[in-house]
Structure 1
């Protein structure tokens, strides 16, 4: 799975993070490495915790918490 998450509000407005990993949707919670950042968080590294809220053949919905240091 490759995803980019863009921020549209607050101090991170205009920034984004990119994640990359195999997405094992059957696991309750997955830690996914953040491999890139842009804008104010250009050199961000960390991980995202993804939890599947809803899953079917038409798409997924996730709650993602991004932790950076």
Structure 2
């Protein structure tokens, strides 16, 4: 990385060169394990992890907040 006259950071263009990528859903339930997996396997192409094995990361739990009529009581969502 370098800094130019406008004091902006410039980076060389990203080249994937056949590097692996991960899908957002990871097979662990612990956030620290997920981050270790991401940075050990794909440090140049990180991702936003989803941990379906973690009860707080289920599809409904992530996206229902604020929806009228939806009740989430930790055991059930209806």
With the shorter chain as reference, the TM-score category is under 0.3
Whichever structure has more strand as a proportion of its residues is 1
TM-score, normalised to structure 2, is 0.24
Whichever structure has more helix as a proportion of its residues is 2
* Structure of larger gyration radius: 2
TM-score, normalised to structure 1, is 0.25
